């Protein structure tokens, strides 16, 4: 499959001259979300098992654990929804209740920002074009946008970790920033997003 071949699968395709096929975005989203969920569970277990000396203060450790738990709680329902949602081209059988269809299967039928960078900058504009926006605040705004981010996740299903993954190819990452309200948070800078605009 294009986009998700293991090394041996790629080798087999080459030797057998099999034509690679495109991933179904809905199936890809299920797999990505499952792997993300498994990684979060592993990180939580590692966090719980660590009992040695730590340079972080108790408050910093609590902040890290809270952020990890919030992320885990956000991703779980996404996998449940993906597993129970029909592809948009699937016809519901007569007599069965209508099910929610999945914008990942036919993204062309849903309004799409030109890129996740454009989408992020639209949230900055909505907030009055500040120099920086906390990662969590940006995700909250992006979740109101319809459609699919970079062909991977619906905007409504974004998390801070997913946003970081989507922006990484654009070389945009968070920085520790003291915001106007006094909070010091991992934040995205407007200047970095503008510099990363694909059509510049």
**What does the pLDDT look like over 58-97, one tens digit per residue?**
777 788 788 888 888 888 887 787 777 766 554 444 444 4
Ramachandran region, residue 171 (left: φ > 0; alpha: ψ -120 to 50; beta: rest): left
Tens-digit pLDDT profile for residues 133-150: 999 899 999 998 888 888
In whole angstroms, what is the distance from residue 77 CA to residue 79 CA?
A: 5
Given this model, what pLDDT does residue 147 score?
A: 84
Asked if the model's pLDDT at residue 99 lies above 60, the reply is no
In whole angstroms, what is the distance from residue 37 CA to residue 117 CA?
A: 25
The residue extents of the domains of the chain are 1-108, 110-200
Lowest mean pLDDT: which of 16-30, 34-48, 111-125?
16-30
HSE (CB half, 13 Å, CA atoms) of 6?
2
Pairing of β 101-102 and β 86-87: parallel
Identify the CATH assignment for 110-200 out of 1.10.10, 1.20.950, 1.20.58, 3.30.70.
Answer: 1.10.10
Does the predicted TM-score (pTM) go above 0.85? no
Q: Give the relative orientation of helices 25-49 and 58-84 as an angle to the nearest 10 degrees.
A: 150
* Phi, psi dihedral angles at 93 (to 5 degrees): -65, 150
What counts of helices (H) and strands (E) characterise the chain? 7, 7
Comparing 98 with 72, the larger pLDDT belongs to 72
């Amino acid at each position: 499959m294009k986009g998700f071949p293991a090394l041996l699968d790629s080798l087999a395709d080459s030797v057998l001259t099999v034509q690679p096929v495109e991933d179904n975005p809905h199936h890809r989203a299920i797999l990505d979300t499952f792997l993300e969920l498994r990684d979060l569970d592993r990180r939580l277990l590692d966090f719980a098992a660590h009992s040695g000396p730590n340079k972080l203060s108790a408050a910093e450790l609590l902040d890290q654990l809270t952020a990890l738990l919030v992320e885990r709680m956000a991703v779980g329902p996404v996998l449940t929804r993906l597993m129970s949602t029909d592809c948009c081209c699937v016809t519901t059988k007569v007599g069965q209740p209508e099910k929610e269809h999945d914008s990942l299967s036919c993204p062309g039928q849903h309004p799409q920002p030109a890129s996740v960078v454009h989408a992020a900058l639209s949230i900055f504009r909505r907030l009055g074009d500040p120099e920086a926006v906390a990662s969590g605040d940006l995700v909250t705004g992006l979740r109101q946008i319809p459609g699919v981010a970079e062909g991977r996740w619906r905007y409504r299903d974004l998390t801070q970790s997913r946003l970081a993954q989507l922006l990484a190819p654009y070389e945009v990452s968070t920085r520790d920033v003291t915001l106007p309200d006094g909070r010091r948070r991992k934040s995205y800078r407007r200047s970095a997003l503008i510099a990363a605009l694909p059509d510049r």
